[in-house]
Amino acid sequence: MRLLKLIVASVGLTLIFTASSFCQKGKIQFETTKLSDHAYILTRTWGAPHQKSNIGVVIGEKGLAIINASFFKGEVEQVLGAFRKISPKPIKWVINSNWDMYNVASNQYFKNKDVTIISQENVAYQNNAYTQLTFKDKFSLNVGTETIVAYRSYGHSFGHINIHLVNANATFMSDSYRSQWMTTTGPYGLKGHFKGIDMALAMGNQHTKYIPGNTTQKIVCDKDDLIKEKKRRSAFSRRVLQLKKLRKLNKEILADTKIISILKEYPLYPYIIKEIGDWVINPLFFDEQAKKHILSQKQLEKYVGTYSCAGKNDVEVFIKDGELFSRSVGQFYVKSVPTSTTHFWYEREDLSLHQVFKMDSANHVTGFTIKHNDQTLTYVRKP
C-alpha cells in the first residue's frame, strides 16, 4: 500500500519517483526471451540499464494475453510496437499481478478497447485503479495454446497474484519474487512472502522457469533461486531482529558486516544502498509488533465499523484472524497494527505514521485520522 508516495524501490522498480517521472521520456530498450512457441518475456527498461521489468506475452488462438502490461500514456506506441514484433494478433486479455501503479496504469488505455482486464479483487481498493474482471483466490484462462492459472500469492500486497503458464511450465512471480533485490514482504510479513514462493514451487517442478517482476541481470530464474531467496531473507530477518534487541538504530543495522554481506548478494545493492534505509528494515518491526497482539480480538471489536469522510469513499474497519484492517474502494487497504489503544501503524516502511482513533468520554470510538496522498483525512464513525 502506498499512502504517501510511491516507494518504487520496495515494490516495483528501484528508486523514488513522482508519478510524472514514471512516464519515461525517450526510447525504451526492449529484450525478448522465448519461453515456448506461444509464450515470451518482454523485458523493458525504466530509464537506466539496471532498472528493468518483465512483461509476459502469451499468443493465444484469438489474440494475446499480456501479463503486466507495464506502460504509461506517453509510452503506448513503443510498448504496443514491441508486442507486435512478437505477434501481430490483437491484445484480448490483460492480467494485473498487483495494484502497483506501473502494473495497473495501462488499464486506463485498455478499458475502452475489446480487452478483458483481469485482477485479484483487492486491486479495486488501490488509489484510482481501474478493474474489470476480478477473482478472489484462483482464476484459470484457456487461450487455446496455453492454460493460464492465476492465484493469490499472499506476498507483496493484498492484491498480488502469481501467474503460471501450464504448457510453457513457467511462472510469472511479479513482485512476490525479485531476482535483484528484496521485494516488500507485504501485509502478511515474511510468512506471506514465503507462502507465495512455496505455492509457486509446489505448482512447478525442477524444470519450471520463474520470471521475476523486476530484474537487473537474470531474466529467467529456477527453483534453486527461489529457495536461496528464502534462506537469505530468513538470515536477514534474524540478524536485523538480533541487532534491534541490542537497541541498534536502522543506520547502524545497515552498517553491520553480516547485514552488508547478505545485501551484497543482490545485484541491485550497488545502485540503491543509499536509498534503502527503512524500507527493508521497518517492515520486520511492523510484523513483530503485529505478532504481539497487544489488543485482544474482543478489545479490537470496538474499532469495527464504517467511517465516512466528505468527498471520499467510506472506510470499512474489520477484524480477520484476530487482526484489524481498514479498506476503502479506490483509496487504500491496510493492516492496522496497534501500538496503543489509539495509535495504529499502517505503513510498513514508515513507522512514524499512525492511524489515530478518537474516543468520546465513554471511551467509544468516534472516528480516526489517517494520512493519505499527502493529506490528513478525518473520518467519522457512522451510526
pLDDT of the residue at 183 = 85
Residues 168 and 48 in one domain: yes
Percentage of the chain modeled with pLDDT above 90 = 73
Residues 241 and 321 in one domain: no
User: Do 279 and 301 share a domain, yes or no?
Assistant: no
pLDDT tens across 41-93, in order? 999 988 777 788 999 999 999 999 999 998 878 888 999 999 999 999 999 99
Considering the domain architecture, whether residues 249 and 114 belong to the same structural domain is answered as: no
One-letter amino acid identity for 60?
G
The predicted model gives 332-345 an average pLDDT of 98
Tell me the average pLDDT across 197-224.
94
Whether 5 maps to a domain, the answer reads no
Same domain, 52 and 183: yes
Statement to judge: residues 253 and 211 lie in one domain: no
Residues 131 and 267 reside in one and the same domain:
no
pLDDT at 330: 92
* Predicted local confidence at residue 20, as pLDDT: 38
Lowest mean pLDDT among 130-144, 196-210, 255-269, 297-311: 255-269
Strand partners, 95: 67, 118
pLDDT at res. 25: 53
Which pLDDT does position 272 carry in this prediction? Answer: 67
Nearest C-alpha neighbor of 272 from the set 181, 156, 178, 174: 181
Assign residue 341 the CATH number of its domain. Answer: 2.40.128.50
Question: What is the pLDDT averaged over residues 323-352?
Answer: 96
Mean pLDDT of 313-317: 98
pLDDT of residue 278: 78
Residue 3: the pLDDT is: 38
pLDDT of amino acid 16: 33
Sequence-distant (≥ 6) Cβ neighbours of residue 356 within 8 angstroms: 342, 343, 344, 368, 369, 370
Q: Are 359 and 342 in contact (CB under 8 A)?
A: yes
Confidence of residue 131 (pLDDT cuts 50, 70, 90): confident
Lowest pLDDT segment from 89-103, 164-178, 347-361: 89-103
**Residues 6+ away with beta carbon under 8 Å from 332:** 1, 3, 125, 126, 127, 326, 372
Residue pLDDT, tens place only, 279-302: 889 999 999 999 999 999 999 999
Residue 344 pLDDT more than 50?
yes
Q: Assign residue 171 a region: left if phi > 0, alpha if psi is -120 to 50, beta otherwise?
A: beta
Residue finishing a domain among 201, 224, 247:
224
Q: Is the pLDDT of residue 254 over 60?
A: yes
Write down the pLDDT at residue 7.
31
342 contacts 328 by C-beta, under 8 angstroms: no
The reply to whether 270 and 307 lie within a common domain is no
Domain boundary among 165, 198, 224: 224
Specify whether the CB–CB gap between 127 and 331 falls below 8 A.
Answer: yes
Residues 137 and 158 both lie in one domain: yes
Residue at a domain's end among 291, 319, 339:
291
Q: Residue 117's domain spans which residues?
A: 29-224
Look at residue 103 in the predicted model and tell me its pLDDT.
Answer: 81
Has residue 343 got a pLDDT over 90? yes
pLDDT in tens, 145-162: 999 999 999 999 999 999
Instruction: Check which CATH number belongs to the domain holding 188 and give it.
Output: 3.60.15.10
Specify if 21 maps to a domain. no
The residues near 58 (Cβ < 8 Å, ≥ 6 apart) are: 38, 39, 40, 64, 65, 66, 67, 143, 145, 146, 148, 165
Question: Which residue in this structure is represented by grid cell 467509544?
Answer: 364
Whether 239 maps to a domain, the answer reads yes
Mean pLDDT over 180-193 rounds to 90
> Domains in the chain: how many in total?
3
User: What's the pLDDT band for 214 if we cut at 50, 70, 90?
Assistant: confident
Indicate if 269 and 324 belong to the same structural domain. Answer: no
Per-residue model confidence (pLDDT) at position 17: 33
Q: For residue 313, is pLDDT > 50?
A: yes
5-38 pLDDT, tens digit each: 333 333 333 333 333 334 445 788 999 999 999 9
Q: Over the chain, what is the mean pLDDT?
A: 89
